[in-house]
Structure 1
Amino acid sequence: MVLTSYGQDRTSNYRSKKMVVSDTIVIDTVSINPSRFSILDKNGKSIDSTDYQVDLRRALLFIPENIRRENDSITINYLRYPDYLTRDYYLLDPKIIVENTGSLDKLYALETSTNDANNSPFDGLNALGGINRGVTVGNNQNAWVNRELDLQITGQLSEKISIRASIQDANIPTQAGGYSQSLDEFDQIFIELYGKDWNIRAGDVDLQNNNSYFGRFTKKVQGIALGGTFEHNDGSKTTAFVAGALVRGVFQRSQFNGQEGNQGPYKLIGPNGELFILIVSGSERVYVNGLLLNRGENEHYVIDYNAGEIKFNPTYPITANMRITVEYQFTDRNYTRFIGYGGGNYTSDKLDVGAYVYSESDAKNQPLQQNLTEEQVAILAAAGDDMDLMVAPSAVPDTFSENKILYKKEDFNGMEIFVFSNDPGDELFNVRFSLVGDNMGNYVISEESTINRIFEFVPPVGLILQGNYEPIIRLNAPEKLQIGGVNGSYHPSEKTRIDFEVAGSVNDLNLFSVIDNDDNEGFGGRFAARQAVLRSADTLKLDAFASLDYINKDFRTIERLYNVEFNRDWNLDLPMGDQRFVTTGAEISHPKYGGGKYEFQNLDFSENFNGTRHIISSRVQFSKLNMFDNASFRNSDSDILRSNFSSVNSGAVYGINKAWLGAKFNLEDNQLKTIANDSLTPLSQKFSAYELFTGIGDSTKVYAEVGYRYRVTDSVRNMMLKKVNTSNDYYLKSRLLNNKNTQLSLFVNYRVLK
């Protein structure tokens, strides 16, 4: 169903259409020329032709599930055959030829109707969709019901205004509570009006900023977004956008190591260690050893958004050597939180300039889960940014009831304590106890009661507390984060490009308090340049590049700035001070033989860290042989540690007709030593891994591959790196059947750990 057609000469046969995503799309009413056919995703990036199927004769496009899951719309560029080739030609129009019945006594008359047509404003709209339900059972799991909802409305309200609306909910299977009860629990619900150079969208909005370095983010919100484009006579154009919404989730990151042979579920937690959180659907990004994984039953993992749990598929075995990082948005119901985002960009042949403003703030007078008293507001006002001070007594007077667990006050060596009581004559209190950590409290759960959870006081031993609970409640302070910046790119020629950006941030961790506000404001700047050094006749390219990041210690970004394993790559623990990050290097490439890159990096924190890193990477091809290599060597010094980190990841694959043979090698040697005594710390580790594999077939259709992995892991023993275990992995992965109606895959993995 066509959503819009960008401005082009209708006499031309080239078309560009933005269409809503479904499993089968009718592109046009005539056949399509195979030349100049391409598909772009919702971000404007080209989709590889191997990821979809197209019937050019019937002008039908078949979209697989993974593309539908990631995009609500796509743009199709194609060349239709001209009308004179596809039109039917007749000497006489068959529509006006009367059937020869042999009877001449019938009279026919043509009359023009005088009745006015009842035109409806919704005549141009089309609705489609459906609800799929399924049941999953197994010999090692409970039965569950899963279902998928997909309803869409598309069409034109007028010649210049089009509409698109959608309700989607791909519910992740769960035994309880796994259904949407209200509109805000659907995966996606929105309505959008748009024209040639403007659009308005309300409902679920995916806010993104991919044009900025410091302000880069992705947010799923509920609100309204407007955008427009203005084209100028000189060929340049200006775009402007603004959005306002309620925040569906707050950004959070969980990091943990995999457990040997345990595919999950692994629990995702909140910022204060909350074990039961709701994840915003589709907001997660999962990394294992720095590599981004894909969600799906036929991919790497599945996730239960209601329970906040992630489970890895059997085709992706989890080991103790895997570093797992999950970034996600979880529903934070402490305060009503608003988000505002706006900006604009100017684009011309040689200069691109943009500006943006982002604000995310809690409404401190609209708490959702806690009704703050004046005393509690005063506690927050006096706490500043110290979360340890954001606690308040939880005891409130209450009346006796057999169905309540109540406490009375007693004196213990001058300290007021709470003791369980069921005596109506006592002055009773309803008390909430919070977990504060081992040996951090004075109360424990009583072992005498097996039905109710009753807390009892445990006297300290000396100065050491013996409990892990306290009669307090934690108060959540309203927060605010604002970021604004200006960025640009100047490219005076095809060989030169200069990028820049400056940004400032305001991050207030407690809107009730003016204490500790001296560290709320920070700024950052970036300058980068790239210069083409060599361009040969056979398209050999040699480029030089350099960049400088300067980040004030109080500057804050919306999401992480660097790659997910940046801290591990540099062995950063608690860096302090202003940051300076310098990068320089050169890159060579050839369209036939591949290329390589050398990069030098220097990272400095003004108070306690300085390090250098050399990175060498290449990917080359010679006839049937493909090779790749990624190596890095780093040295760094902090105020207490000195470290050396070397890593190598290389491999080669040789193709023979429809078969292939390959090998991989992976090495990491990370040694951290204390400056005081020059001894290895427990964080030091080393491993080397080898892999051999061979296969036959077409990896995109039917194939089979077998392989073997061997790994040796070293860890610190007696102040030295020594071998602690070895592993042997044997695997088989294959796709035995792959056609329109049937798919059959087989994966086998056998692992021996010594």
Structure 2
Amino acid sequence: MGQGNGDYVFLTTTAAGKVFEYVAPVDGISQGNYAPIIPLVAPVKLQMATIMGGFHPSEKTDVKFEAAISNNDKNLFSTEDDSDNQGIALKFDGRQRLYSGKWNLDAFSGYQLIQSRFRAIERLFNIEFSRDWNLTETPTGTQSLFVSGLDFSLPEKSTISYRLEKLDFSTQFSGTRHLLSAYANLEKWRIQHQSSYLKSDGTRASSTFFRQQSDVVRRLGRNWAGTRSRAEDNQERLKETGLLSSVSQRFFEYGAFVGRGDSTKVFAEVGYLRRVNDSLQDGRLIRVNHSDSYYLKSRLLKTDKSDLSLFTNYRLLHFEKEGVKDVPSLTTRLLYNDRFFADLIQVSTAYETFAGTIAQQEFSYVEVEPGRGVYTWNDYNGNGLQELQEFEVAPYPDQAKYVRVFLPSQVFIRTHQNRFSQAVTLNPLKWTNATGFRKVLSHFYDQASFSTERKRKAEAREFDVNPFDGSENGLLGLALTLRNSLYFNRGKQHHSLTYTWLKSEARSLLSVGAQENTNGLHQLQYVHLFQKSWLVTLTTEANTSATYSENYAGRNFRLEGKEGESKVSYLFSKNAAWDVFVQFKEVSNRLGDQEKLSQTRWGTSFSFTGSKDFTANGEVALLRNGYSGNALSPVAYTMLEGLQPGQNTTWRLLVQKTLTQYLDLNISYQGRKSEGTKAIHTGSIQLRAFF
């Protein structure tokens, strides 16, 4: 509200959100800057109409134009101040061929005018527009952009382009940019260059901004050698103080490289880069650090079946300030894909190492409309306060009343990280028509995958390059998944079997301490279709799930469970089916109070897909939860999946209809009822438009 316009001041932030403190007025004058009011959000409307065209008076002349008008009404409930809703934008482009022959010369020019009241629905300029013009604060007023230049081209050999740009925002900003780009592809040389120089003046600051990037490559048969350079010099001086602003910076980077091979097939390139950085210190741009980088870029194998590429970069950052240690970093990326024995075995490997930072992340929970959030709050200790450890992922839409909002962190820890993934597929399908043992193997199919990502605290010059290192020393983050699925008669629904084994582990660093989660699964599924209409599905599994929280002992548990499900489906057609199922589950907690759950679930479901873009599916289920332990605890919420001990009933219905090519209608309804409570009904209607 602004200082003196409210009776509250900001105090602190909790899991429930921001907390404000009342400050009594003094002599009738408010002392705070917040007030307990809710602003009414008025409906708005933004419309835009565009007309464009072109004119070609001759083969050497091309003229294009575009005009747009926008209508931006910020309050549809009121007609006050509607006189400034409309704005216009104009654009003209022209190109003239000045000379044609062995070489070509074109002149081009363009002009854009955008009124201050014009509002576009989509972005008008590229995402780097503000930085290109040093627009740290977007000026207001009518905007005009004039462009003119020359293009010289030697077909299939070289091009040179000069471009002049003039940008104005009424009287608040004026800038001029000169851009030069060149490309030459000669017999043994390839030269690329891009540079720009900006000089601007505004009500807030004046600036100069120079940038350039150049590559020169010499080819010697299958070999090449070259140099490259990049530079930026950005100096913005504030009008009020005459000092350089915080966006001012300067760097210069140069290096050389050599390579051999075909860059589209098999090749290798090694190179060296040196970069010096100047930053703002005591109002001046002075040298703060420099770095030396050595890199290898290669594709070592490239065939119809195989692909192996490797990139690695080692950088050592030296600081000019005495007493500051050098900072090394290693970035590596290896990608390998291959197929063996006529696609019998398929292998995919990815490996990466890199340096980074990890934040000791702080977060809060903010209440939103039911169904719009992700989390629900359970007051486990009954004190009426929303505490971080009392929020759970909501299993039902009516409970999803909170979202997690991450707060800006001031604590970052430097890390060395590695990431590895491996996938192996065995597919003996090609032996379908074979005999003997190969015929038996053709019924099987196996997929195995392993992935891991580790984050360790950076220590001196030591790098974490081993993705299989199980050491706990300095480990800050971990995500590990190991999975294998073995199929028999995959996808055939004829005595089909699927065995799945899964193990996963995750660790994260939060401001409230470390959190760990582990999961394990053994699952066997049998599917068989008989008499062309009856589908039997039998599933059994054993699973484990463990959670460890460093500072919240009430969230520590280790669950072991066994499940079995039988389902019989009657297939009316390929588009309609009706199911009857029964499921048994037993879960026990091996820590704390040794809670136990014995659950029986049975019910029926259906699915239908119409011929005219209509689908519907639904389910009704009865559950009997035999639970021993405290029902109001994190472990109970996890084991009961948001339901209550005793008798429970759940139901759901989803209807989807494609109204037109660009319009879809979704109707969703679900409900539940627990023993001794009233039924809860949740529904939603969604109309989606595709543009």
Please give the range of the TM-score, normalised by the shorter of the 2 chains. 0.3 to 0.5
Q: With the length of structure 2 as denominator, give the TM-score of the two structures.
A: 0.42
